[in-house]
Structure 1
Amino acid sequence: METRKVQLSGGTTYTISLPKQWATEQGISPGSTLYLHPDADGTLLIEAGTHQDREDRQVRMDVSSYDTDMLAQAVEAMYLVGIDELVLVDRNGYDDDHFETAMDLCADLSGLQLMETSEKKLVFQNIIDSSSISIRKSTLRMKLIVLAMHRDAVEAVVNNDTALAARITTRDSEVDKLFCLVTRQFERAIDDLQTVEALGTTRHELFEYYHTARQFERVADHATKMASLAMEHGGSFADETTDEFARVADESRRIVERAADIVLSDVNVTTAFDILSDASALDDEVNEIDKRLYERADADAAFTFGLLLDSVRRTAAYGRNIAEMGIQQCVKQKECEEIGLRQR
């Protein structure tokens, strides 16, 4: 770290000198334009004009040896890190499977369009500008979908509703699509200050939304897992057991919902401490139910039902992760002095 003393120039303007090594590395000379980004945390970030004026991020890849799975992984990876244009060249020529994979990717990744196709070249472009995206609304939509998926998954298990369970598995892709959009903006914002400004958020808020969305995506995965178990083993669970499952599963979902409100609805962070306590109590209760299973059910049934309980346990843990992040962010922002942060 280097320090500078602020000078007063012309009686009204504050000035400081720039570190010479940094200025040289950035190609700065008299008359160069710099871009200043004041942040809510009191920092002032300086960006060289060469970064401001750079062309949209473009990548050209030779995918001649890629199968369809590798092609999909490459495109998704480039999308997530914020590439705006991706040119994929296959010297051997694309077949129908590759074209079908390309179209599926455009359906699964928000803003991605296949702009050009030829026998040996595919050109993808991102058509959504960061200024048109609300990360908060995207995360909030994830919350609504995920909680509905989880609620329906529990109902499918309890009522042996395989049709409902089947519908749940198809909604996981919508959650994945939203999470990819949030991840893309988060990754771009790490090294592109203009993305943060275009999104109309702070870096701290962006991290909160990304972290929360990550937990939602995991909850959705476990809702899908429970739905799959309902389809595979529906009707094989005792009523008494499913009643216990429904009770603890509903509580795990409430933990996630309450934790999410800390980030998305500005609920007082003191709620986070109650969530941590409730999540720990639920974990103990689920462990006790799991132990009792082997006393009154055959081993196979107990194992299968144990998988459901594991999803309940993990769902509550994801809610706890959100609550813990809320407390950590509060500490960083020095707000906890006002609420009497206690040792835990």
Structure 2
Amino acid sequence: METRKVQLSGGTTYTVSLPKQWAEEHGVEAGSILHVDPNEDGTLLVSSTHKADDELVATVPVESRSLDELVRTVEALYLVGYDRICLRDPTGNMAGVAHEFTRRTSLSGLEVLEATETKIVFHNLIEARNVSIRKNTIRLNLIVLSMYRDAIDAVVDGDESLARSVIDRDDEADKMFAMISRHFRRSLSNLQEVQQLGFTRDELFEYYYVARQLERVGDHAEKIARLVTRHAPDLSPELVDTIGGMADRSRAVFERSTETVLSNAPLETAYQALDDRTKLVADLEAIDRDLYEHDSAGNAYLAGLLLDSIKRTAEYGANIAEMGIQRERRTCSATE
């Protein structure tokens, strides 16, 4: 990092010199036009070209890659921030691939712009200025909370239909998290992205971190639902009641934790969630030990998987509570 002394020019204008090496590398000379973008977090972006309107473009040669590999490649390019992705195959074997792509992947804003026998072009249609990271995180929270609640109900009631609906909703949760992740990643290297999203980088990281925990809870809700559809748990009524009670406590930890970040609940709510998590984990571990000592191996294994997902849901909720505490400390320090 270099430092520059601010000088007063003409009695009305502050000036600062540019590093010579940077100017030469970017073709900046006397008379060049530079773009200056002030940001709310106190940073000032100076660029030799206005990159806000530039698209990030990637071209991927298909070669001998499988369809699964190509899907993962497109998803990765989307997540790191590319606006336009082109798959090229000069041998002309791309017929029908575009349809298979749209069937296998669902990413917000990514549409097939062009599809021929030699290439497929994807284009992202959603601009940062039209995205609300906060609202999308809140929506993801609602989706995941309903998934978790319904997954536990499916276990308690033995409802395979409800379990399948939970599995179906996991795609929606993944889609929402992917969009949040994409814009957070872009904000790390593009200050215009930060400006358009309307949050500081600290705030964007906090929302991304919370969304990551939410996505993990959604994965465990899906895991619970798949246990119902694959194994049709034959657990005793007493054990089902125990699992339901533990799940209710876990959900309470999760809900209190998200309130500290998404609903501006008092800081005490976060501390209470952490205390409740600690007590719940101890009780879950005691139940798990008792299962393997007194129940059949099959039931103990299946119930253990359910209890593990319940425990992890509480742990991910506690991670959110800790982020709520960190955010509160950060904002307090900024105003003191």
Q: Same fold (TM over 0.5)?
A: yes
Matched, 1:60 2:62: no
2:284 partner letter: V
Q: State the partner residue of 1:212.
A: 210
Classify the secondary structure of the residue corresponding to 2:239: helix
Shift of 1:23: 3.0
* C-alpha separation in 1, matches of 2:209 and 2:308: 22
Q: State the partner residue of 1:49.
A: 48
Cα pair 1:102 1:114 within 8 Å, conserved = no
Q: State the partner residue of 2:190.
A: 192
Classify the secondary structure of the residue corresponding to 1:124: strand
Cα pair 2:187 2:194 within 8 Å, conserved = yes
* C-alpha separation in 2, matches of 1:139 and 1:337: 26
Pairing of 1:221-260 with structure 2 (within 5 A): 221-260=219-258
Q: State the partner residue of 1:24.
A: 24
The one-character-per-residue Cα deviations of 1:32-76 (angstroms, maximum 9, x if unpaired) are 213233333xx3232313253663111111112111101101111
Cα pair 1:330 1:336 within 8 Å, conserved = no
1:215 partner letter: Q
Shift of 1:193: 0.9
Q: Check 1:131–1:50 CA distance in 2 against 1; reply closer, same or farther (3 A cut).
A: same
2:18 partner letter: L
Shift of 1:337: 9.7
1:77 partner letter: A
The one-character-per-residue Cα deviations of 1:216-252 (angstroms, maximum 9, x if unpaired) are 1110110011111122232411111111111111111
Identify which range, 324-333 or 175-184, moves more after superposition.
Answer: 324-333
2:98 partner letter: F
Identify which range, 51-60 or 144-153, moves more after superposition.
Answer: 51-60
Classify the secondary structure of the residue corresponding to 2:169: helix
Matched, 1:10 2:13: no
TM-score w.r.t. length of structure 1: 0.91
The one-character-per-residue Cα deviations of 1:94-143 (angstroms, maximum 9, x if unpaired) are 356623322225x6011111111111111111111111111111111110
Cα pair 1:276 1:320 within 8 Å, conserved = yes
Q: Check 1:236–1:117 CA distance in 2 against 1; reply closer, same or farther (3 A cut).
A: same
Classify the secondary structure of the residue corresponding to 1:217: helix
Shift of 1:261: 1.7
Classify the secondary structure of the residue corresponding to 2:23: helix
Q: State the partner residue of 1:70.
A: 69
Classify the secondary structure of the residue corresponding to 2:305: helix
Shift of 1:336: 9.6
Q: State the partner residue of 1:201.
A: 199
Cα pair 2:52 2:192 within 8 Å, conserved = no
Q: State the partner residue of 1:136.
A: 134
* C-alpha separation in 2, matches of 1:56 and 1:74: 18
Q: Check 1:322–1:19 CA distance in 2 against 1; reply closer, same or farther (3 A cut).
A: same
Q: State the partner residue of 2:307.
A: 309
Cα pair 1:215 1:321 within 8 Å, conserved = yes
Q: State the partner residue of 1:341.
A: none
2:14 partner letter: Y
1:234 partner letter: A
* C-alpha separation in 2, matches of 1:6 and 1:140: 43
Pairing of 1:120-135 with structure 2 (within 5 A): 120-135=118-133
Classify the secondary structure of the residue corresponding to 2:87: strand
Q: Check 1:46–1:266 CA distance in 2 against 1; reply closer, same or farther (3 A cut).
A: same
Q: State the partner residue of 2:165.
A: 167
Identify which range, 14-23 or 151-160, moves more after superposition.
Answer: 14-23
TM-score w.r.t. length of structure 2: 0.93
* C-alpha separation in 2, matches of 1:336 and 1:48: 28
Q: State the partner residue of 1:342.
A: none
Q: Check 1:157–1:109 CA distance in 2 against 1; reply closer, same or farther (3 A cut).
A: same
* C-alpha separation in 1, matches of 2:226 and 2:3: 59
Aligned residues: 335
Q: Check 1:275–1:22 CA distance in 2 against 1; reply closer, same or farther (3 A cut).
A: farther
Over the residues paired in the alignment, what is the CA RMSD in angstroms?
2.0
1:121 partner letter: K
Gaps of 5+ in 1: 339-344
Q: Check 1:313–1:97 CA distance in 2 against 1; reply closer, same or farther (3 A cut).
A: farther
Q: State the partner residue of 1:37.
A: 38
* C-alpha separation in 2, matches of 1:328 and 1:25: 40
Identity %: 45
Cα pair 2:56 2:83 within 8 Å, conserved = yes
Cα pair 1:236 1:301 within 8 Å, conserved = yes
* C-alpha separation in 2, matches of 1:67 and 1:100: 15
Q: State the partner residue of 2:147.
A: 149
